[in-house]
Amino acid sequence: MTFLALFRKELQSYFVSPLFYVVAAVFLCLSGYYFYTDLIFFVTFGFGMNILENFWQLLLVDLRLVMLLSLPMLTMRLFAEEKKLGTIELLLTYPVRDGELFLAKFAACGAVFGIMLAGTLLYPIYVHVLQPFPWVPLIAGYLGLFLLGLSFIACGIFVSALTESQVVAGMATIGILLLFWILSWNEAATSPQLLRALIHLSMFDHFQTFAHGVIDAQDVAYFVFFVSFFSFLTLRVLEARKWRGGR
């Protein structure tokens, strides 16, 4: 099947290049350090308090930053490299729908991110061995992280489709994602009405609910919309070659 062939090719290209291993190593090292320091903090100051609110929530929120820095490194090459090499011309003259190509890249990057995220499951397992705690709220938190990651990926692929330069794609993605983070962070700089609108737009405010261990349909809908919106934009960019020319 065409999609499977493309998906396998994308996945393979991650595992044959050193980039994935470097990104995964940095991701796991940084999140491991966060885990270690947050745990020490909890043990020192919060012992006997609610572990969910005083430890897992902090860790999940910290992991966002690590994801913000590492996921653009995984998405930046997806279209930019094919455009730079010129292989996009070959692919687009094959009987492949633009949508299949996009979906293969999105799914492969999502799978790679899933593997990296699964690596961090070591921490709750370790803590559970030391001291059992309620799992279910943490699962909601992980679902939130995964949805957040998919949103990062959708945005990153869109930026990658705009340029031939991987560095430009990576930097611009970090910029856009950071903006979605800090939209609502300074109440003083905005009017109350605007702030309410910005909170609705801010990715990290929607993530907060998940970190509290709650799966709210409204927040799930937000991430689904975010991913769909950037997927739509990416497909429009791919289509643009038809009226703009060039590749």
In the complex, the residues that contact another protein under the rule CB under 8 A are 1-2, 4-6, 8-9, 12-13, 16-17, 85-87, 89-90, 92-97, 241-243, 245-247
Residue nearer to another protein on the CB measure, 48 or 245: 245
Q: Is the dihedral of CA 144, 11, 15, 94 positive or negative?
A: negative
What is the closest distance, in whole angstroms, from the C-beta atom of residue 12 to another protein in the complex? 8
What is the closest distance, in whole angstroms, from the C-beta atom of residue 6 to another protein in the complex? 7
Residue nearer to another protein on the CB measure, 36 or 94: 94
Residue nearer to another protein on the CB measure, 9 or 196: 9
Q: Round to whole Å and give the CA distance between 241 and 244.
A: 5
Residues 6+ apart with CB under 8 A from 129: none
Residues 6+ apart with CB under 8 A from 191: none
Residue nearer to another protein on the CB measure, 64 or 83: 83
Residue nearer to another protein on the CB measure, 30 or 96: 96
CA angle 228, 232, 233 (to 5 degrees): 120
What is the closest distance, in whole angstroms, from the C-beta atom of residue 241 to another protein in the complex? 6
What is the closest distance, in whole angstroms, from the C-beta atom of residue 16 to another protein in the complex? 5
Q: Round to whole Å and give the CA distance between 180 and 103.
A: 24
Q: Is 84 exposed, middle or buried (0-12, 13-18, 19+ CB in 10 A)?
A: middle
What is the closest distance, in whole angstroms, from the C-beta atom of residue 1 to another protein in the complex? 7
